Amino acid sequence: MTTLRGELLVASSAIEDEPFFRSVIYLLDADEDGALGIILNCPLESDLQLVFPEWSSSVDSPGRLFLGGPVDSDSAIAVGVVPDGSHPFGWQSANGRVGIVDLDRPAPASGEFEALRLYAGYAGWSPGQLEAEIAEGSWLVVAAKESDLMHPDPETLWRDVLLRQTDDTRFWATLPDQLNAN
């Protein structure tokens, strides 16, 4: 299997159910044992100050907890982008400068991370499941940009990622929310 770690999964119009409708998922890990990713464009209404008070001043705009996916949504994952050559305590690289941050460590000092967000839960696939979903057209696999992880407007990320594609998948960005209502 070609590794998909560090790539984006962009939901196709075939996916109509939440939380995956028009989702953009960053794959933190993908191998023969399955895949694990986080939904980048699903901010929650939770007040981060109440849920993670010690971390709330360290996260990037919009300063909210995000839904990472439906699996283990009572737990949290922190994802951070580090400066070049940096390897902070409690950070494990997933792909280049992007990595998972241990939430049991003290909250980071200013400048320790270029960007940081917290996610409730994750999206997970068993061995072969993601490959089958990609083959059936549920997901488009595209290259990720570090800026996708901290996109300032999560509501437009799905469309923005599609519009930067150079093939016919750009067309997906123009589809109405409900195809049968068109």
Reading the block at residue 72, the tokens are: 């283990």
**Domains held by the chain: number:** 1
d(CA 171, CA 149): 23
- Does the residue 43 lie in any domain? yes
- Does the residue 71 lie in any domain? yes
pLDDT classification of 173: cutoffs 50, 70, 90: confident
146 within 8 A of 156, measured Cβ to Cβ: no
d(CA 118, CA 175): 30
DSSP symbols for 16-31: -STTTTT-EEEEEEEE
Mean predicted confidence (pLDDT) in 153-160? 95
Reading the block at residue 120, the tokens are: 């409730």
Mean predicted confidence (pLDDT) in 160-182? 80
- Does the residue 51 lie in any domain? yes
- Does the residue 34 lie in any domain? yes
CB-based contacts of 22, cutoff 8 Å, min separation 6: 11, 15, 41, 158, 177
Whether 181 shows a pLDDT value over 80: the answer reads no
- pLDDT (tens digit per residue) in 86-136: 999 999 999 999 999 999 999 888 889 999 999 999 999 999 999 999 999
Q: What are phi and psi of 115, to 5 degrees?
A: -155, 150
CB-based contacts of 75, cutoff 8 Å, min separation 6: 120, 121
- Does the residue 1 lie in any domain? no
Domain of residue 157, residue span: 7-181
d(CA 98, CA 77): 13
Residue with the two structure tokens 């050559």: 85
Q: What is the CATH number of the domain that holds 46?
A: 3.40.1740.10
pLDDT classification of 63: cutoffs 50, 70, 90: confident
d(CA 55, CA 30): 28
d(CA 12, CA 64): 26
Reading the block at residue 173, the tokens are: 């960005």
- Does the residue 2 lie in any domain? no
**Strand, helix or coil at 170?**
helix
Nearest CA to 117 out of 75, 48, 59, 51 is that of: 59
